[in-house]
Amino acid sequence: MKIAYVLNTYPQPSHSFIRRELQALEQQGAAVLRLAMRPSDTALADPGDQAEASRTEYVLKAGPGRLLAALVQEALAAPRRFSKALALAFQLARASDKGVLRHLIYLGEAAHVKQRCAAEGVQHMHAHFGTNSAAVAMLAHVLGGPAYSFTVHGPEEFDAPHALSLGEKISRAAFTVAVSSFGKSQLSRWAPFGKWDSLKVVHCGIEPERFADPAPLPGGALRLAAIGRFVEQKGQMVLVRAMAQLVEKIPDVHLALIGDGGMRPDLEAAIADHGLQQNITLTGWLAEDGVRRELARAHALVMPSFAEGLPMVVMEAMAAARPVIATYIAGTPELVVPGQTGWLVPAGDEAALAEAVLQLAKTPPDQRAEMGQAGRARVLERHDSAKEAARLAAHVRQAISG
């Protein structure tokens, strides 16, 4: 079985779940052609991401001339199919705020992807995210390429389903994947009833062997970790404000903010304004072993997000036997069970977030450890990357067999 993974920007530090999924497919015997539109403009700290970059074909590096030539070839070889694809590109453009030119570029990318799939004997295309990568896969299919599927993570797709023509993409796909039951419920809002059976749940996964021997919870002053892109939806600013409340009662509490992004200057300013320079460290992006080291030093993970799909960082923290304090949003309650594996708080409520951390601080060490182990058992049962890749592979085989 040969699959093409159609991706926008790959690899990225925050998208290691895609790497784990396609590598698990390869370990189970599938051949995977990596077709990304562009490389990441973020430095890749993780050796695994660096290796993936070297194995990935970047469509836009072919250049405008090559993409235009691919379009002309498709138009001459199959005018009727090309006309349908062109009409679909205009339909997508009318719904979107990206404009016609952007969608004509998607069509050129799709022509190149279709030809690469034909040259490599690809039997199925799978895209991640319901954005332009799914549009390219859909257009490549209309041009005569293999059937496609795509994984929707959220929250971006759920914020703009009309602009992304999410219903159209679902209708034309062999199947569509959600990463949680919550995600599947959101896809059901935009899928015709006749396509509901094509909506599948395949969780993002972790590699259990990388968490085979989690470190015991540390002693000493309370240490927290938060991991994610520094963007508004991740809610780090709420966490900084909660920390300002916490230091009044726990002066030596420490938070490692792991990640980077456009909000970094705002976070740095807020940390300085609240005098939290000794309590909060911004680590930047870390390789996976660096993230595991920070989790080993922490008593809990805090995820203050406003919007999510199903957060990988929560899975990794639970696999590392750490309790989790998270917001009650999206698929997160499918992972974090209050009182058993951590705490859930309303999104945007800095006082509730601070109170949850205080509850963590008051929880006896042996009870924290029990919560960590309960979370570890839950995530290893539900989010093994090999098992989830096998689930995806079964859906692909069914699509190939027709």
Tens digits of residue pLDDT in 37-56: 999 988 888 888 999 999 99
- The pLDDT, as a whole number, for residue 43 is 83
Residue pair 336/301 in contact (Cβ under 8 Å)? The answer is: no
Where in the chain do CATH 3.40.50.2000 domains reside?
2-205+384-401, 210-382
Which of 59-68, 282-291, 381-390 is predicted least confidently?
282-291
Question: Which CATH entry fits the domain spanning 210-382: 3.65.10.10, 3.40.50.2000, 1.10.443.10, 3.40.50.12370?
Answer: 3.40.50.2000
Q: Does the structural domain 2-205+384-401 have CATH classification 3.40.50.300? A: no
Rounded average pLDDT over 202-228? 93
Task: Dump pLDDT digits (tens) for 316-373.
Answer: 999 999 999 999 998 999 999 999 999 999 999 999 999 999 999 999 999 999 999 9
- The pLDDT, as a whole number, for residue 309 is 83
- Who wins on pLDDT, 154 or 169? 169
- The pLDDT, as a whole number, for residue 379 is 95
Task: Dump pLDDT digits (tens) for 181-190.
Answer: 999 999 999 9
- The pLDDT, as a whole number, for residue 288 is 80
The confidence band for 13, taking pLDDT boundaries of 50, 70 and 90, is confident
Task: Dump pLDDT digits (tens) for 244-272.
Answer: 999 999 999 999 999 999 999 999 999 99
